[in-house]
């Protein structure tokens, strides 16, 4: 089946620094990548949608200059949290789908970000 590899699984960073999270589709072409975050006891909330080679579409309330998304290839998408603050501490997870939706929505294993 389809696999999305997400790294790092856990990161602790200092306030004000930037953190990059990578998601790679290992055996299919991820034409679309969705980025979610989940705060404790909350549902996964869609942050942005990116199509390969295009600019990401951000959900209302998500700052595009703070959460930089790059989807330059069909197998790699990155989310960079710039100038991270403690309130950005959350579980970030990507979800990839290919054009034909043969594999459905494949999730990465998530990144737990803690900003101190």
Give me the residues that bind other proteins (CB under 8 A), please. Answer: 31-32, 34, 36, 41-46, 49, 51, 57, 91, 93, 95, 97, 104-105, 107-110, 112
- Closer CB to other proteins, 9 or 15, in the complex: 9
Report in angstroms the alpha-carbon separations of 10 from 6, 22, 55, 70.
10, 12, 27, 20
- Closer CB to other proteins, 18 or 35, in the complex: 35
- Closer CB to other proteins, 83 or 105, in the complex: 105
We find the least distance from the C-beta atom of residue 44 to other proteins, in angstroms, to be: 4
């Amino acid at each position: 089946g389809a696999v999305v590899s997400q790294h790092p699984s856990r990161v602790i960073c200092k306030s004000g620094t930037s953190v990059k999270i990578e998601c790679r589709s290992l055996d299919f072409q991820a034409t679309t990548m969705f980025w979610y975050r989940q705060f404790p006891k909350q549902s996964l909330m869609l942050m942005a949608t990116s199509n390969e080679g295009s600019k990401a579409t951000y959900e209302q309330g998500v700052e595009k200059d703070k959460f930089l998304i790059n989807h330059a290839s069909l197998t790699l998408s990155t989310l960079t949290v710039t100038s991270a603050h403690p309130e950005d501490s959350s579980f970030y997870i990507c979800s990839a789908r290919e054009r034909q939706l043969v594999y459905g929505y494949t999730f990465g294993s998530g990144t737990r970000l803690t900003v101190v």
